[in-house]
Structure 1
């Protein structure tokens, strides 16, 4: 607007100068030139301010571009961290799934063991109802007792495994809670990044609007410069027409030189403005690229959040499944403790029964009246008066449980040199000798011996006489002492 007023003023002065060729031409021309120089100075100052504003805007924009690039790099790093966290979470989920499968298999095995123990308990309870046991039943009891002891050891081992599994579950649960807290922190940080990106987008929009305004101002400044150049050209034409004195000519020459300097400076400013405009276009393109990249990062963050939500749901499901499994394991442990208590009670009962049975092991039998012509014949029993534990089969006593035993034989015979030997397996222990008289005589002998399970004790004729007569009042007795 000022340049236009200057141009109007120039035309008015020129018209007055052409119509009034008086003595004050020099003064009027000088005044006009001064006004023109003042206008040029004002225009130059306005251009300098605009250039300074543009330079400052460029500096601020470059700083914002650097900040935006740093934030984009931070977002990329954050996305990489989120991806790594997702991978870790996926690995933890896989590990938990495998441990769940292992725990479920262990639980199934524990349930199988419980069923076996329940069957054993039922068998032992049925055994309690049938207290009349023979030697074979005792051996079965011993086998069952061994199996129960093995089952008890297996249950103890399973309990240790379950305790270790429960400890691992607690550790994994703590890891899941830590992962959940870290995911929440990442979500909060992503929210803060989104807010920062929104502020950055607003700043970018503001800078873009300011760029557009500055470019429009530059275009107006270029229009003003063109008007100033037109005024200078008119002034140069006016100088050719005016017949000025020497002082006025010198002033005009000086002013003309200043105007030419101003023209060159304006040309340089135009070049700077063009370069600035080019930089603005480049920066605008960079800002658009940064905006597109930020949008892509936002989309990627949204996808990561969705995947994290899915992962969180899976983790919650696994945690609930773990809790349910742990409760089942605890119930299984309670059942196992009850079974162990029942097994211990039955074992104590078996032990008492075994003690009772052991203390009642023994036999007394009358010998079968017969003549034994073979010197190594085994003496047979006749009427069995007592057979505790059913260890004596009518000829041989077979040891059912280890301990100290006492055996005694009473012989009644009329055989000269008649005698009976007591044997343990193939080992001779002692002898009952009736004497040399061929009449009924009595003879007895005892032997205390340690027997293991399966050892056999029996009577054999000693062979001193060609034959041995054993009367029916002869007796063979054996009893367990402890």
Structure 2
């Protein structure tokens, strides 16, 4: 095909030209210069467009790099955060384990506390019952003390009477000129614990006085070391039981006088006195006619006395 034909064809055709702003403009080609100019313009425009695209690409690459850097930083931050979360999670796990152990320990402590409370309640009930028993016992002791006080008062009255009788006998002694030349004989014995009995004869365990050694704690009998007139006195208090106690002063097997502590009330007293003419070797003792319920104390209430006039 001839160049003229081609050139004519190019001149004759209408083409579309790319403008700088990227729009296509319909432009007719009239000459070869227009074609070259068109080509140069198109090349410039294409280059400019490519430069712009490259510039945009470069900017996009920079943005991408910045985003990558930021993403790396964020990833590192997230990794750091994740490690912290893991540490916190580990601590939470340890805390849960410790809480479970503490709960188990608390359950055991509560069980032990309930057990101790139950034991304390039982001890309280037992102690309260013991206190009630002690109160009852104290009341009983108070009643006994009251009755003993009354008995002691009566015994003091008896002792006063006995002292008066002794004073009278002393006056008799003073009037007896021969008393100084005679052997002194006298005794007082008492019961301070549960005495033994020689059959029905009382064997007093405590010797207060035994001048002349006439009273025997083994037999419970007084044996006259010399003949003469003797005074004998017996005083007794029954124990807390309401039962009759009757005692007698016996001379060689013959009852001479008696005492009685009746059943009107517990701790009843009884006493009696007798003057007997004895020969050397005669025996006098205290014998139970009824009952053996004698009251005992560390200082004797029940006593047996005798002396030579």
Taking structure 1 as the reference length, the TM-score comes to: 0.31
Higher strand proportion: 2
Larger RCO (alpha carbons 8 Å, 6+ apart):
1
Q: Which has the larger radius of gyration?
A: 2
Higher helix proportion: 1
